[in-house]
Amino acid sequence: MADQVTLTAEPRAGSGRSEARRLRRVGRVPAVAYGSGLDATPVSVDGLELYHALRTDAGLNALIRLDIEGDVHLTLARELQRHPVRREILHVDFVAVDRDRTVTVDVPIHLQGHAQGADEGGVVDQVQFTAAVEVLPLEVPDQLTLNISDMQLGEVKRLGDRALPDGVTLLDDPDSTVVSVSAPAMESLPEDQAAAEADADVTER
């Protein structure tokens, strides 16, 4: 189940780049809150508090109880804009949700166990790291765990191989490959070396 954290938001008096820069200089992140029962409202939140709110096990799927001057809304943080170098959050949308209506979220996929095929030299390759699901806000799982302990060389596991918790509906293709155990690629010899070895083989004959 998704974690719930409380975050206090302050209405923004101004707008535009100058106001956004002013807020960031004092450690606040410009944002807009909107959604179920909430008209679009420009706000700002403390940058450090936002950082910690999104560092729980639920990550970006953490349910944030956004307090706007005493009016509390259950929200999800979406449309995060980050600095290209420092990766700090520059802007965020808080989307208010109804606890009785399903939402669409991307849930991380976690591999569990050690594939048997890896002991035979196989390479474990995870190609899908999240799954899109539909679920009630209070029931969003922190992650989906896929056990790979029984995987042999040459086998794959797909999204549909993992049973979902009650109330969680998979939206992605269940036949999508999540992880494979494949034989390591053979290293090819450089052309000059391969030709030299071929000549040597002919000479020996």
Tens-place pLDDT, residues 149-176: 999 999 999 999 988 999 999 999 999 9
Report how far residue 27's alpha carbon sits from residue 118's, in angstroms, rounded to the nearest whole number. 47
pTM over 0.95: no
Cα distances from 120 to residues 24, 54, 85, 86, 146, in angstroms, run: 53, 39, 41, 41, 21
* Exposed e or buried b per residue across 120-153, where buried means at least 16 C-beta atoms within 10 angstroms of its C-beta: eebeeeeeeeebebebbbeebbbebebebeebeb
Tens-place pLDDT, residues 78-122: 999 998 888 899 999 999 999 999 999 999 999 999 999 999 899
